Amino acid sequence: MKKVAVILSGAGYLDGSEIHEATLTLLALDRHNAQVHCFAPDIAQEQVLNHATGEPSTETRSVLVESARIARGAIKPLSLAAVDDFDALIIPGGYGAARNLCNFASRGHEMTINPEVEIFARSLHREGKPVGLICIAPVMAPAIGGPGTRCTIGNDPATANAINAMGGIHVSCAVTDCVIDTDRKIVSTPAYMLADRITQAEAGINKLVDAVLAMA
């Protein structure tokens, strides 16, 4: 049984994990009988947005506490994750990945990754274990996989150019497919960077999970 770590970034596509993407990831992993453990950084969200209006809110929310909604409480602080315990890592998208797991949303190609996320992801990757990145999360691919890492966010020119500026190689990809960098064991899919329907996101995420587990 493969053991997979899933890093969440809150709950809600505007300021946390995209809930459909996170759920589809967990469902696909369960269908493969993988053992899944959810983690999140124990930090405050970079920003809180009202998902009914899209407007910023003045309240403060915890990335870990909000992520626990998706994980049904079965979640731990990322600081407790041990690389040796896992065969693979998957990070769903949602703007929380670009706001809370890294600061791409505010700094673009000059972004940095949350230290706990960077240490865990890069350490796992250095051991030859695969990493799956969904939606906007592939902006972290060059930092995790190193210069020349092939990845996709679909076909958004500005984001693709930012990935290339960080040393990655962006590959345009249909929403129902994924890009597999077999040399670096990095897999990515556009999901809601392109999806108009949940079934479109599901198709790409299923392929990503298949590929990640095949390399684990």
pLDDT band at 214 (very low <50, low <70, confident <90, very high): very high
pLDDT for 80: 98
Share of the chain above pLDDT 70, in %: 100
The pLDDT score that the predictor gives to residue 11 is: 97
193: CB partners within 8 A, 6+ apart: 93, 135, 136, 153, 154, 156, 159, 175
Strand locations in 8-112 (E): 35-40, 48-49, 56-57, 75-77, 88-91
Assign 25 a pLDDT band (cuts: 50, 70, 90).
very high
Q: Where are the alpha helices (DSSP H) in 14-62?
A: 19-31
Q: What is the four-CA torsion angle of 122, 128, 132, 137, rounded to 10 degrees?
A: 20
The average confidence (pLDDT) of the chain is 97
Between strands 179-181 and 186-189, the pairing is antiparallel
| 203: region left, alpha or beta (phi > 0 left; psi from -120 to 50 alpha) | alpha
* Cβ-proximal residues to 19 (8 Å cutoff; 6+ apart), any chain: 11, 12, 13, 70, 94
What per-residue confidence (pLDDT) applies to 48? 86
Model pLDDT, residue 72: 97
Answer whether 125's CB lies under 8 Å from 51's CB: no
Instruction: Quote the pLDDT of residue 163.
Output: 98
Q: Which DSSP symbol is given to 139?
A: G
Average pLDDT of the residues in 156-170: 98
Q: Are 109 and 162 in contact (CB under 8 A)?
A: yes
Closest CA to 214 of 190, 171, 178, 169: 178
Longest dimension (CA), the chain: 44
Q: Compute how many other C-beta atoms are within 10 angstroms of the C-beta atom of residue 108.
A: 16
- Which whole number is the average pLDDT over 75-90? 98
Q: Find the catalytic residue in 38, 102, 135, 151.
A: 135
Instruction: Say if pTM beats, i.e. exceeds, 0.85.
Output: yes
H/E segment holding residue 180: strand 179-181
CB atoms within 10 A of CB 87: 19
pLDDT of residue 139: 98
What pLDDT digit, counting tens, does each position of 164-176 carry?
999 999 999 999 9
User: According to the model, what pLDDT value does residue 57 have?
Assistant: 85
In this predicted structure, what is the pLDDT of residue 52?
84
Q: What is the pLDDT of residues 29-65, one digit of tens each?
A: 999 999 999 999 999 998 888 898 878 888 999 999 9
For domain 3-215, the CATH architecture is 3-Layer(aba) Sandwich (3.40)
Task: Tell me if residue 135 is catalytic.
Answer: yes
User: pLDDT digits over 85-140, tens only?
Assistant: 999 999 999 999 999 999 999 999 999 999 999 999 999 999 999 999 999 999 99
Helix axes 19-31, 198-215, angle to 10 degrees: 50
Helix (H) or strand (E) holding 187: strand 186-189
Q: What are the extents of the domains in the chain?
A: 3-215
